[in-house]
A and B are shown apart, each in its own frame.
Chain A
Amino acid sequence: SQQGEEDPQALSIQEGENATMNCSYKTSINNLQWYRQNSGRGLVHLILIRSNEREKHSGRLRVTLDTSKKSSSLLITASRAADTASYFCATVLTGGGNKLTFGTGTQLKVEL
């Protein structure tokens, strides 16, 4: 079953704009992770945010976590054509070891 649901399902923006993707989940988590998947490739880990953290940055990425609303957002600033990919949130449940439960993903297209 899918724990996380991303919104929107698809997003098309111009190069240089910011892209925001949202993820909602259902049960208590230990941490939440964001992954990127280019077409025909495996997933690449982007960032991990723990349940006691509210915000993390990594380069052009900013992730927020609101455990009271059971939601997270991923912001990519100054997007580039190379950012075109599918983005997935994945949750590790409290007491769930390192089992990742992925959402349905957001397809991001960055146009020149």
Chain B
Amino acid sequence: EAGVAQSPRYKIIEKRQSVAFWCNPISGHATLYWYQQILGQGPKLLIQFQNNGVVDDSQLPKDRFSAERLKGVDSTLKIQPAKLEDSAVYLCASSIQGFGPQHFGDGTRLSIL
């Protein structure tokens, strides 16, 4: 079984630029999650999708972050414009339904200059 795929693995941008991350979950997994992990901390949920609908985006900074999962499969997370405090690893995870273990990708490490 292929795991959760994320790209790119690394991204360096300057503040105020925009950036996008891509995630392809495990085949058949209906629920997809995006997390932000700041160095030295545990991951923080940004947004949860069930198929192509948003279940929870309460911690997503909506003035600069957006995410979509148009066909209920892969997903993109965008930041525009980026701030220095957005430097972090962005992790995507998926689960079969909205319960049980989550399977994580290796993340995208974002550095803001």
Contacts and interface: CB of A to CB of B under 8 A. Distances in A.
Contacts of A42: 4, 91, 93, 104-107
A98 B104 CA distance: 14
B20 interface: no
Contacts, number: 59
Interface size classification for chain B: 20 to 34
Nearest to B58: A99
Interface stretch (B11-19, B41-49, B61-69, B73-81): B41-49
A97 B95 CA distance: 12
A90 interface: yes
Interface stretch (A13-21, A61-69, A70-78, A101-109): A101-109
Interface of A: 2, 4, 33, 35, 40-45, 48, 88, 90, 97-105
B72 interface: no
A104 B41 contact: yes
